[in-house]
Amino acid sequence: MNPPDSVGIASLLSRPYKSIRLEWSSELSALRVRTCVTPVQCYSLAAMGELQRVLLDITENQGLVKHFVMTSDVPGVFNFGGDLSLFVLLIRARDHESLRLYGRRCVDLLWWMETAAQIGVHTTVLVQGDTLGGGLESVMPFHKVIFERSAQAGFPEVLFNSFPGMGAWNFTIRKSGFAVANEMILSGKLYTAEQLHECRLVDIVVDDGRGEEAIEDAMRAVHPRLRGTLAALQARSIAAPVTYQSLMDIVDRWTINSLSLTDRDLKLMERLARAQARKGMRGVTEGAVEEIKRVELDRAWGEERTGITEWASL
Amino acid sequence: MPNFFIDLIAATDEGRREFETHPVVFASVAHGMSIERYRALLCELYHIVWHFNPICAAAASRIDDGYANIRHFLYRHIHEESGHEQWVLNDLEAIGVSREQVIARPSQNVLALVGFNYWASDRRHPCSVLGMMYVLEVLAAVYGGPFSATIRETLFLEGERGTSFLSSHASLDAVHLAELRDILNQLTSEDAKAAVTESVLVNFRQITSVFGAI
């Protein structure tokens, strides 16, 4: 007869998933989730449903998983964040309820990360490419955030008159302080891994190609003192609390604001959504990050001076 | 309130994204298309639009009395969409295609699309018509605007000449999409929901084939 642990992990690993791939390391009791959402590496409803299923399995089998690791299988992209194409659809359908539900599902994923220490799980994330908006929000509650040097991240939502509504304010303020949160969220700028490390939003920066090693090192460093670390992390949540209610209240504000976006805002959102999809296509290396840079340039040098840029023609 | 609309979006997300990221669709929205391709697309659209109301009528005639709200929704929709095939013919005329050329013969992809929708309304479940409506309205409301703007720009068409069907449906169908969402959220029967979901998947697949083949 198999020991209970092996039965639990076998059933956890045997579920059929489309957007994620699971790997198990019995030595450290580490479950690794590799994400690959097609055709765009973002938090689609289907991908979030699968992630939620995995997290629920971990919660229901407490003690089985001690380390939770998340990485991306898509070269050059960790996660583009919210499903912009879905937002456009829901906003055009004036679907307040579904937008709110989407936001709440995102918060539920974040909340699991935020409370993972309570169920004995230490969380680590490796970012090896672009991560924008909701993609960046999703890494912030992880206990250990590792970026490879070429990774870039930011909250571009302000460019289309929105804001990151799923934890950006709460977690950036807690990790880096109010001034940094203000600057990052209100500017819409993109940041390098080094810049994010300097403001303590990222814990470790490693050279490109060294991320795997860094995950292993991070887990092995914490493993011998896992119980103490998790206890300390729970105490940290008391010292610097982020509440579920405040996250949900912000989602509600985000929903109301989303429905006030103009046609021009939606067109820019569509432009970024197309850029996200472009990066997934074979042989194409430019994606949403490059498009955001173009929008910023258009704004800075085109629209304000001449009013005849691509931006202005949106 | 039950939210079948969001469940439907999630269950059919892949089909929508496959349409959106099909190389022909993607290139068309971003860079437009040649006049020949645009003519071919409008000819195909004509047949889809022409059969839209008869399919809705077929579904309305077969729908159970328990779905009176859906039957009345279909009546309203049939009334609103009535004559829109003429808009497609006008656009085609503006880009040099005669009525006779258009009506000639739809492609096999269009025949399969239209044929499925008649069959599904008749033999599968009359509510499956809502799946066809969802796909066409999502296409118009989400992709119609950027697509018609790009076409106007790249083919140097003035005003709405040649793009009146696409551009007016882009704004019209945003309203229709909101109405359709309300109707879908009133569905309670699991059979009806399954039929709508299946219909959305088939319609996305077929419409992607229509675009891919032009």
| Residue-wise pLDDT tens digits, A147-172 | 999 999 999 999 999 999 999 999 99
Residue of A43, A270, A129, A62 lying closest to B141 (CA atoms): A270
pLDDT at position A197: 98
**Alpha-carbon span B76 to B53, nearest angstrom:** 11
Residue A79 Cα distances to A35, A36, A218, A231, angstroms: 9, 9, 22, 30
The model's confidence at residue A302, banded by pLDDT at 50, 70 and 90, is: very low
Whether the complex's predicted ipTM surpasses the cut of 0.85: no
pLDDT at position A308: 37
Share of chain A above pLDDT 70, in %: 86
The closest CB to that of A98, out of B3, B29, B146, belongs to: B3
φ and ψ at residue B85, rounded to 5 degrees: -65, -25
- Better pLDDT: A8 or A42: A42
Indicate yes or no: CB of A92 within 8 angstroms of CB of B141: yes
φ and ψ at residue A309, rounded to 5 degrees: -90, 175
Q: How many CB atoms lie within 10 A of CB B30?
A: 15
> Is the per-residue pLDDT at A299 higher than 60?
no
**Alpha-carbon span B88 to A133, nearest angstrom:** 40
Contact A296, A304 (CB under 8 A): no
> Is the per-residue pLDDT at A78 higher than 60?
yes
Strand partners, A69: A32, A124
Indicate yes or no: CB of B13 within 8 angstroms of CB of A45: yes
Q: Between B13-20 and B190-213, two packed helices, what is the crossing angle to 10 degrees?
A: 10
Residue A67, SS3 per DSSP: strand
The model's confidence at residue A275, banded by pLDDT at 50, 70 and 90, is: confident
Instruction: Give B-chain residues touching A102 at CB under 8 angstroms.
Output: 6
Residue A300, SS3 per DSSP: helix
Averaged confidence pLDDT in chain A: 88
Instruction: Give A-chain residues touching B174 at CB under 8 angstroms.
Output: 92-94
The CATH class that applies to domain A11-258 reads alpha beta
Indicate yes or no: CB of A45 within 8 angstroms of CB of B178: no
Residue A80 Cα distances to A42, A152, B9, B76, angstroms: 5, 11, 19, 40
Instruction: Give B-chain residues touching A44 at CB under 8 angstroms.
Output: 13, 17
pLDDT tens for residues A123-141? 999 999 999 999 999 999 9
Share of chain B above pLDDT 70, in %: 97
Query: B25 CB near a chain A CB, below 8 Å?
Result: no
Delimit the domains of chain A by residue range.
11-258, 263-303
The closest CB to that of A101, out of B3, B14, B177, belongs to: B3
Contact A142, A112 (CB under 8 A): no
**Domains plus CATH for chain B?**
4-213 (1.20.910.10)
What is the count of residue pairs from A and B with beta carbons less than 8 Å apart? 79
> Edge-to-edge strand order for the sheet containing A77-79?
A77-79, A130-132, A152-154, A190-192
Tokens representing residue B12 in the block? 């059919």
Instruction: Give A-chain residues touching B21 at CB under 8 angstroms.
Output: 39-40, 277, 280-281
pLDDT at position A2: 46
pLDDT tens for residues A97-106? 889 999 999 9
Residue of B72, B60, B79 lying closest to B183 (CA atoms): B72
Indicate yes or no: CB of A85 within 8 angstroms of CB of B141: no
Contact B25, B211 (CB under 8 A): yes
Cα distance from A33 to chain B (closest Cα, Å)?
A: 21
**Alpha-carbon span A270 to A280, nearest angstrom:** 16
Cα distance from A91 to chain B (closest Cα, Å)?
A: 9
The closest CB to that of A46, out of B14, B30, B146, belongs to: B14
Cα distance from B26 to chain A (closest Cα, Å)?
A: 8
Instruction: Give A-chain residues touching B9 at CB under 8 angstroms.
Output: 45, 86, 89-90, 98
Instruction: Give B-chain residues touching A278 at CB under 8 angstroms.
Output: 26
b/e sequence B74-84, b meaning 16+ C-beta within 10 Å: beebbeebeeb
Instruction: Give A-chain residues touching B138 at CB under 8 angstroms.
Output: 89
Burial of residue A125 (CB within 10 Å: 0-12, 13-18, 19+) is buried
3-state secondary structure string, chain B?
Answer: CCCHHHHHHHHCHHHHHHHHCCHHHHHHHHHCCCHHHHHHHHHHHHHHHHHHHHHHHHHHHHCCHHHHHHHHHHHHHHHHHCCHHHHHHHHHHHCCCCHHHHHCCCCHHHHHHHHHHHHHHHHHCHHHHHHHHHHHHHHHHHHHHHHHHHHHHHCCCCCCCCCHHHHHHHHHHHHHHHHHHHHHHCCCCHHHHHHHHHHHHHHHHHHHHHHHHC
pLDDT tens for residues A157-210? 999 999 999 999 999 999 999 999 999 999 999 999 999 999 999 999 999 999
Residue A35, SS3 per DSSP: strand
Residue B43 Cα distances to A264, B86, B172, angstroms: 30, 12, 21
Indicate yes or no: CB of B17 within 8 angstroms of CB of A39: yes
Q: What is the DSSP-derived secondary structure letter of residue A31?
A: E
pLDDT tens for residues A255-267? 999 999 998 898 8
pLDDT at position A89: 86
pLDDT at position B103: 75
Query: B3 CB near a chain A CB, below 8 Å?
Result: yes
pLDDT at position A286: 60
Query: B18 CB near a chain A CB, below 8 Å?
Result: yes
Amino acid making up residue A114 = E
The model's confidence at residue A107, banded by pLDDT at 50, 70 and 90, is: very high
pLDDT at position A148: 98
∠ CA A49-B2-B12, rounded to 5°: 45
Indicate yes or no: CB of B174 within 8 angstroms of CB of A92: yes
Residue A223 Cα distances to A5, A59, A103, A226, B36, angstroms: 18, 19, 33, 5, 64
The model's confidence at residue A304, banded by pLDDT at 50, 70 and 90, is: very low
Q: Which residues of chain B have pLDDT under 70?
A: 1, 170-174
Q: How many CB atoms lie within 10 A of CB A34?
A: 15
Indicate yes or no: CB of B21 within 8 angstroms of CB of A281: yes
Indicate yes or no: CB of A94 within 8 angstroms of CB of B178: yes
pLDDT tens for residues B180-205? 999 999 999 999 999 999 999 999 99
**Alpha-carbon span A105 to A111, nearest angstrom:** 10
pLDDT at position B26: 80
Instruction: Give A-chain residues touching B147 at CB under 8 angstroms.
Output: none
Query: B5 CB near a chain A CB, below 8 Å?
Result: yes
Residue of A119, A117, A109, A112 lying closest to A63 (CA atoms): A119
Q: What is the DSSP-derived secondary structure letter of residue A299?
A: I
**Cα four-point dihedral sign B144, B146, B150, B156:** positive
pLDDT at position A296: 57
φ and ψ at residue B125, rounded to 5 degrees: -165, 130
**Alpha-carbon span A273 to A159, nearest angstrom:** 13
Residues in chain B: 214
Instruction: Give B-chain residues touching A46 at CB under 8 angstroms.
Output: 10, 13-14
Tokens representing residue B46 in the block? 């004509």
Query: B174 CB near a chain A CB, below 8 Å?
Result: yes
Question: For the residues A44-56, what does the mean pLDDT come to?
Answer: 93
In this structure, are strands A144-148 and A204-206 parallel, antiparallel, or unpaired? parallel
Cα distance from A226 to chain B (closest Cα, Å)?
A: 38
C-alpha R_g of chain B: 17
The model's confidence at residue A5, banded by pLDDT at 50, 70 and 90, is: low
Indicate yes or no: CB of B181 within 8 angstroms of CB of A92: no
Residues in chain A: 314
In this structure, are strands A77-79 and A67-72 parallel, antiparallel, or unpaired? unpaired
